[in-house]
Chains A and B, each alone.
Chain A
């Protein structure tokens, strides 16, 4: 193994990720090659820059809040977030979706019913008499009292000519 072959293997070797088949020749090379040993030391130094930072502060109640939002149907932002519910969404989400759809349809039906009732009431009011006083009038054949008496007189005068009245006979013995 030469330096050119050894160099890219050093980080994996230090990570403990090199199989023994590959590690054994590298170890032999490192024993013989001072520049590569220095390179290996440089890799070790580099690791000290990746010291773990203090633990991340997790907001109180975070898990509970996320679980609540998840079961409420929230799928977050981003490409997935554009689709509220996906076909392969968890059953709970589908249940939430169905419930929301049902509520929407229910609301829509109620609104439609109210509209029909309002329309019916307003149409009925068109046929009712307007004004504030109650009057019972029949405009079909309005005639005066004098006219009515004159008509009756005419009828009375004409009747004897058509059918003279006969006296009623008593049929009793």
Chain B
């Protein structure tokens, strides 16, 4: 799993350098976990500082309220702390934390009365959707406008698709990492992503037919 500190620029580094950096970050994380378990306040604060950007970024895809976002992220870290001694280092700390974060987001939606899954359909057994052509946002569209439209469409997606799209498209997570976080097979990640993209296109065209190519 990636360290959670990856940036698009870092993604072009040599694979060996990248792997070494990841190992280094993971070793540091495990060290910080042990120090936290030994009672170091500062070490846990450092862990929060390392990953708060990524968890805030994830939370933004589940609610627009700044207060709710902060609550969700805070809950994620508090839950992680309370279960810290169950972290065995089998996956990276970020994978472990991200799994808690995703579950916290879904629990948060349920608590707030918004069903995270608005459909009972099983995405793995549905028929393959037909091809849908769609154009990308025009060059003169503002980034905020694109984000607003995308966010609205994502909100309308069943949770099972929204999560996998966010993890892949916004967080740029590898399929293997998504599989580890969601505890599903890579094949399931592939099929779920395929269906999620098809749903996204359908919803986008329903709301904005002008972006259809056909």
Residues of A within 8 A of B (CB): 7-8, 11-12, 15, 17, 35, 38-39, 42-59, 62-71, 74-81, 85-86, 88-93, 95
Taking a contact as CB atoms under 8 Å apart, the answer to whether B53 and A66 are in contact is no
Please tell me if B48 contacts chain A, counting CB pairs below 8 Å: yes
Chain B residues whose CB sits within 8 angstroms of the CB of A93 once the complex forms: 81-82
Taking a contact as CB atoms under 8 Å apart, the answer to whether A91 and B48 are in contact is no
Taking a contact as CB atoms under 8 Å apart, the answer to whether B78 and A43 are in contact is no
- Nearest neighbor of B66 in chain A, beta-carbon distance: A57
Taking a contact as CB atoms under 8 Å apart, the answer to whether B77 and A88 are in contact is no
- Nearest neighbor of A81 in chain B, beta-carbon distance: B75
Closest Cβ of chain A: how far from B80's Cβ, in Å?
9
Once A53-B147, A77-B75 are accepted as A-B contacts, the answer to whether A11 and B134 lie under 8 Å apart by CB is no
Taking a contact as CB atoms under 8 Å apart, the answer to whether A49 and B150 are in contact is yes
A-B pairs with beta carbons under 8 A, tally? 168
Please tell me if B137 contacts chain A, counting CB pairs below 8 Å: yes
Chain A residues whose CB sits within 8 angstroms of the CB of B36 once the complex forms: 90, 92
The 8 Å CB contact of A92, one of B39, B45, B135, B170, is B39
Chain B residues whose CB sits within 8 angstroms of the CB of A57 once the complex forms: 66
In the complex, how many residues of chain B place their beta carbon closer than 8 angstroms to a beta carbon of chain A? Answer: 68
Please tell me if B63 contacts chain A, counting CB pairs below 8 Å: no
Closest Cβ of chain A: how far from B87's Cβ, in Å?
10
Please tell me if B28 contacts chain A, counting CB pairs below 8 Å: no
Please tell me if B213 contacts chain A, counting CB pairs below 8 Å: yes
Taking a contact as CB atoms under 8 Å apart, the answer to whether B82 and A89 are in contact is yes
Taking a contact as CB atoms under 8 Å apart, the answer to whether A77 and B48 are in contact is no
Complex CA gap A35/B104 in Å reads 42
Closest Cβ of chain A: how far from B32's Cβ, in Å?
12
Closest Cβ of chain A: how far from B94's Cβ, in Å?
16
The 8 Å CB contact of B146, one of A44, A51, A67, is A51
The 8 Å CB contact of A80, one of B79, B85, B131, is B79
Chain A residues whose CB sits within 8 angstroms of the CB of B85 once the complex forms: 88-91
- Nearest neighbor of B169 in chain A, beta-carbon distance: A50
